């Protein structure tokens, strides 16, 4: 067997799974070059929920993040997770939007596109795969692993074959909830290695405590590579720690030459970052939870899910909501629980607990039932289908969902122009997925009032709220937690402003 390869996820799935995707680019910059020097097969840096988080919470341009990280890590290929026809959102997009987003991501240096469909409906991956190949990049087909009465090893192997027929240069067994067991992964890896002639990778989460054993079994079965992270953004709902897997696989396979002392040093740095993000972390994400074997909530969703329940005021009903998840999943055709279906099922379970079973049906749940996300692995519950037809006034669709969608790029470009936004493919495709957040990110700072005193202090801060930047005042939004500390002199003041856990260094000088 060839040496086993390690894919490093700490800059994407590591913090998505354990800190609600809140790691900032500035927190990544100090370790990016060090990661690049270590000899990983791939650095996962983009995709998944990172684009949403950049725009919605961190006020960062995600393309700027990609550009920054690519510049700092020129030696290691970058990978991203792409949700097929959903791109990075929770609904399907027309083919021309898929084409444009893949092309512009490739232009900014993305090397490997890990492409999956939440329903394992390969039709929803065809366009993205074709766009990646057209851009001259690497297309990796991802099999969303799950267990149910309708999922079999044969179905997963056939999906892998279909990916290769479409041109994928490698495959990933994407075990998003950490469900795959050592015996199953051993058989699946051996079958894929026999029946398709491309490299096979395994991605898992240690939510139920199975991932380390399954990685070992996969290594023994001939897997080409595994996804790992670095503690404390590892283990629990994240990927197994790289240092841990070096120890587990020692003597089993030839290993990558990773500097163990550097790994420990990186862990020390990341402990500081983890502490900075403590309001987004939770002990429930750090421990092994065998209940996941029943509920199948993916690791990448758990940290966000706990926060959502808090926002809804029903955090005390976590267990009740979790018990409802498999019932909703069965009613919606035994769909795998991976973004966006995990969020759809989780939100519907939340609605069922809060308002009564199927008393309130979310639009995405209705869309699943009506075939707008593709063909479900199993049948839709007849009562849920009936409710969906009645509430939507629409009948189920047939065929590939995107075939029912008109091109949108020119319409989107016109909308951006009308709003005074740049009409580049970067902005237009981000606007297609996150219109409100893109407008917020790019809106100009308010012009200072003419009645404002000419002796107002000027404020320099990185980052600075736009209102403070224009008016010289530090303003907090409602419900924001603000703390202020620092020193003053006759001519200037320097202080730290902390808003919701984010520290801003402020300098105020006379002019």
pLDDT recorded at residue 484: 44
- By residue range, what is the domain housing residue 497? 458-509
Domain identity same for 170 and 109: yes
E strands along 62-134, which residues? 78-82, 112-115
Domain identity same for 352 and 427: no
Domain identity same for 59 and 142: yes
DSSP lists the bridge partners of residue 142 as 172
What Cα–Cα distance (Å) separates residue 89 from each residue in 419, 429, 499?
22, 11, 28
Query: In this structure, is residue 449 part of a structural domain?
Result: no
Domain identity same for 24 and 105: yes
What Cα–Cα distance (Å) separates residue 455 from each residue in 269, 471, 505?
43, 11, 22
Tell me how far apart the alpha carbons of residues 58 and 306 are, in angstroms, rounded to a whole number: 19
Domain identity same for 87 and 108: yes
Query: In this structure, is residue 476 part of a structural domain?
Result: yes
Domain identity same for 301 and 266: no
Domain identity same for 421 and 462: no
Query: In this structure, is residue 452 part of a structural domain?
Result: no
Domain identity same for 335 and 425: no
Tokens standing for 54? 């950049």
Burial 63-84 (b: 16+ CB within 10 A, else e): bebbebbbebbeebbbbbbbbb
Tell which of 249, 269, 285 closes a domain.
Answer: 285
Domain identity same for 436 and 496: no
Tallying the residues shown for the chain, one arrives at 511
At 4, give phi and psi (nearest 5°). Answer: -75, 140
The CA-based dihedral angle spanning residues 216, 221, 227, 229, taken in that order and rounded to the nearest 10 degrees: 20
Domain identity same for 264 and 329: no
What Cα–Cα distance (Å) separates residue 24 from each residue in 45, 138, 373, 493?
12, 27, 32, 27
Tell me how far apart the alpha carbons of residues 285 and 277 are, in angstroms, rounded to a whole number: 14
- CATH code: domain of residue 334: 1.10.472.90
Query: In this structure, is residue 300 part of a structural domain?
Result: yes
pLDDT recorded at residue 434: 97
Burial classification of residue 455, based on how many CB atoms lie within 10 Å of its CB (0-12 exposed, 13-18 middle, 19 or more buried): exposed
Domain identity same for 141 and 194: yes
What Cα–Cα distance (Å) separates residue 32 from each residue in 27, 29, 69, 159, 267?
9, 5, 7, 35, 13
Q: How many domains does the chain have?
A: 4
Domain identity same for 486 and 389: no
Three-state secondary-structure class, residue 40: coil
Q: What is the pLDDT along the chain (511 residues), one digit of tens a residue?
A: 899 999 999 999 999 999 999 999 999 999 999 999 999 999 999 999 999 999 999 999 999 999 999 999 999 999 999 999 999 998 999 999 999 999 999 999 999 999 999 999 999 999 999 999 999 999 999 999 999 999 999 999 999 999 999 999 999 999 998 999 999 999 999 999 999 999 999 999 999 999 999 999 999 999 999 999 999 999 999 999 999 999 999 999 999 999 999 999 999 999 999 999 999 998 988 989 888 888 787 655 666 677 777 787 887 888 888 889 999 999 999 999 888 898 899 889 989 998 999 999 999 999 999 999 999 999 999 999 999 999 999 999 999 999 999 999 999 999 999 999 999 999 999 999 999 999 999 987 565 554 443 443 333 333 333 333 333 333 333 344 444 445 444 444 454 444 444 444 544 443 3
Query: In this structure, is residue 450 part of a structural domain?
Result: no
pLDDT recorded at residue 317: 84
Query: In this structure, is residue 448 part of a structural domain?
Result: no
């Amino acid at each position: 067997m060839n040496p086993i390869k390690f894919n490093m996820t700490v800059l994407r799935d590591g913090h998505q799974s354990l800190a609600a995707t809140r790691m900032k680019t500035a927190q990544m910059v100090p370790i990016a070059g060090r990661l690049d020097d270590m000899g990983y097969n791939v650095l996962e840096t983009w995709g998944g929920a990172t684009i949403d988080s950049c725009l919605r919470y961190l006020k960062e341009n995600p393309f700027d993040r990609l550009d920054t990280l690519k510049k700092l890590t020129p030696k290691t290929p970058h990978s991203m997770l792409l949700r097929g026809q959903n791109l990075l959102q929770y609904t399907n997009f027309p083919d021309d939007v898929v084409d444009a987003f893949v092309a512009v991501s490739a232009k900014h240096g993305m090397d490997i596109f890990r492409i999956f469909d939440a329903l394992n409906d390969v039709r929803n991956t065809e366009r993205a795969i074709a766009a990646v190949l057209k851009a001259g990049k690497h297309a990796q087909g991802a099999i969303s692993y799950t267990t149910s009465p309708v999922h079999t090893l044969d179905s997963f192997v056939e999906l892998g074959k279909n990916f290769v027929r479409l041109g994928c240069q490698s495959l990933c067994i994407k075990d998003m909830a950490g469900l795959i067991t050592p015996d199953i992964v051993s058989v699946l890896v051996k079958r894929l290695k026999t029946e398709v002639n491309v490299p096979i990778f395994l991605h898992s989460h240690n939510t139920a405590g199975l991932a380390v054993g399954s990685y070992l079994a996969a290594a023994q079965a001939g897997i080409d590579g595994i996804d790992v992270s670095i503690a404390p953004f590892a283990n629990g709902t994240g990927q197994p720690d790289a240092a841990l897997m070096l120890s587990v696989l020692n003597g089993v396979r030839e290993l990558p030459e990773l500097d163990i002392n550097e790994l420990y040093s990186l862990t020390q740095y990341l402990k500081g970052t983890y502490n900075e993000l403590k309001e987004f972390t939770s002990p429930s994400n750090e421990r092994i939870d065998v209940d996941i074997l029943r509920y199948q909530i993916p690791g990448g969703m758990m940290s966000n899910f706990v926060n959502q329940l808090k926002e809804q005021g029903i955090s005390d009903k976590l267990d009740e909501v979790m018990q409802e998840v498999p019932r909703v999943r069965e009613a919606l055709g035994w769909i795998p629980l991976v973004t966006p279906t995990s969020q759809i099922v989780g939100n519907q379970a939340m609605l069922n607990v809060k308002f009564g079973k199927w008393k309130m049906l979310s639009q995405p749940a209705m869309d699943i039932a009506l075939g707008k996300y593709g063909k479900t692995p199993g049948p839709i519950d007849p009562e849920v289908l009936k409710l969906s037809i009645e509430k939507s006034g629409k009948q189920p669709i047939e065929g590939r969902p995107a075939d029912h969608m008109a091109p949108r790029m020119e319409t989107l470009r016109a909308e951006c122009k009308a709003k005074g936004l740049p009409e580049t493919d970067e902005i237009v495709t981000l606007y297609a997925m996150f219109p409100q957040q893109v407008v917020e990110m790019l809106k100009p700072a308010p012009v200072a009032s003419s009645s404002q005193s000419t002796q107002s202090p000027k404020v320099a801060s990185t980052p600075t709220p736009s209102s403070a930047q224009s008016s010289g005042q530090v303003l907090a939004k409602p419900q924001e937690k603000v703390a202020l500390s620092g020193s003053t002199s006759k001519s200037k003041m320097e202080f730290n402003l902390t808003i919701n856990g984010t520290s801003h260094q402020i300098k105020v000088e006379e002019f």
